[in-house]
A = this chain, B = another copy of it.
Amino acid sequence: MGEIANDATTNMALEKTIYIGPFVHCESLTELDVAVNGMIGVDEAGKIAFVLRDSKGKQIPVQEGWEDAKVVRVNARHGFFFPGFIDTHIHASQYPNAGIFGKSTLLDWLNTYTFPLERSFEDLKQAARVYNRVVARTLSHGTTTACYYATIHVPATNLLADICQSRGQRAFVGRVCMDTLGPDYYCDESAQYSLDLTKECINHIRQIDPDFELVTPIITPRFAPSCCKESLSLLGNLQAETNLPVQTHLCENKAEIQFVKAMFPDSKHYADVYDTAGLLTPKTILAHAVHLSPEEITLLKQRKSKISHCPASNTALTSGAAPIRHLLNSGLDIGLGTDVSGGYTTSLLAEAREAVMVSRHRAMLDGDEAKLSVEEALYLATRGGAKVVGLEDRIGGFEVGKDWDAQMVTFTDVGDEVELDLGEGLVDVFGPLGWSEKMEKWVFTGDDRNTVAVWVKGRLVHAREAFKV
Q: Does the CB pair B140–A422 fall under 8 Å?
A: yes
Query: Which residues 428-467 of A sit at the B interface, judged by CB distance below 8 A?
Result: 428-431, 437, 440-445, 447-448, 464-465
A132 and B416 CA atoms in complex are apart in Å by 11
A103 to B357, CA, bound (A): 11
B99 touches A443 (CB 8 A): yes
Centre residue among A128, A321, A344, A426 by max chain B CB count within 10 A: A426
In whole angstroms, what is the CA distance A437 to B309 when docked?
26
Contact at B318–A430, with CB atoms within 8 Å? no
Residues of B close to A344: CB separation below 8 A: 444-445
A133-B418, A357-B315 given; A441·B364 CB < 8 A: no
Asked whether A240 is an interface residue with its Cβ less than 8 Å from the other chain, the reply is: no
| A18 contacts the other chain (CB 8 A) | no
Enumerate A320-347 residues with CB–CB distance to B below 8 Å.
320-321, 344-346
> Which secondary structure dominates where chain A touches chain B?
loop
Digitize A402-426: 1 where CB-to-B-CB distance is under 8 Å, 0 elsewhere: 0000000000001111111011001
Check B422 against A129 for contact (C-beta < 8 Å).
Answer: no
11 contacts between A and B (CB under 8 A): A1-B418, A95-B428, A96-B429, A96-B431, A99-B444, A101-B440, A128-B418, A129-B415, A129-B416, A133-B430, A136-B420
Scoring A residues 1 to 18 as 1 if CB is less than 8 Å from chain B, else 0, what string do you get?
100011000000000000
Which residue on chain B has the smallest CB distance to residue A4? B418
What residues on B are CB-neighbors of A426 within 8 Å?
A: 137, 346, 447-448
Total copies of the chain = 2
How far does the Cβ of A193 sit from chain B's closest Cβ, in whole Å?
Answer: 29
> Cβ of B99 and Cβ of A418 under 8 Å apart?
no
Shortest 10 CB-CB distances between A and B: which pairs? A99-B444, A344-B444, A96-B430, A132-B418, A99-B445, A5-B418, A99-B441, A318-B360, A1-B416, A103-B371
Within 8 A of B (CB), among A119-159: 128-130, 132-133, 136-137, 140
- A423: B residues at CB distance < 8 A: 423
* A465 to B423 Cα, complex, angstroms: 10
Which residue numbers of A lie inside 8 Å of B, CB to CB? 1, 5-6, 95-96, 98-103, 128-130, 132-133, 136-137, 140, 315-316, 318, 320-321, 344-346, 357, 360-361, 363-364, 368, 371, 373, 414-420, 422-423, 426, 428-431, 437, 440-445, 447-448, 464-465
* Cβ contact within 8 Å between A422 and B464: yes
**Cα A437 to Cα B345 with chains together (Å):** 15
- Neighbouring B residues of A430 by C-beta, 8 Å: 95-96, 129-130, 133
A99-B443, A133-B418 known, 19 other contacts, Cβ within 8 Å? A1-B418, A98-B445, A99-B440, A100-B444, A101-B440, A103-B373, A129-B414, A129-B415, A129-B416, A129-B418, A133-B420, A136-B419, A318-B360, A318-B363, A321-B364, A345-B445, A357-B357, A426-B447, A426-B448
Given the interface contacts A420-B137, A420-B140, does A444 sit within 8 Å of B98 by beta carbon? Answer: yes
Distance, CA A345 to CA B133, complexed state (A): 27
**Would you call B373 and A102 a contact (CB within 8 A)?**
yes
- Whole-angstrom CA separation of A465 from B420 in the bound complex: 13
Cα A441 to Cα B97 in complex, Å, equals 8
Give the residue name and chain of the B residue nearest to A317 (CB): B360
State in angstroms the CA–CA spacing of A368 and B136 once bound together: 36
B100 with A419: CB separation less than 8 A: no
State the Cβ distance, A438 to closest chain B Cβ, in Å.
9
A315 touching B360 in the complex, CB below 8 Å, given contacts A368-B103, A422-B464: yes
Q: Please, how many angstroms separate the alpha-carbon atoms of A447 and B426 in the complex? A: 10
Closest to A365 in B: B365
Are B371 and A318 in contact (CB-based, < 8 A)? yes
B419 engages A102 (CB within 8 Å): no
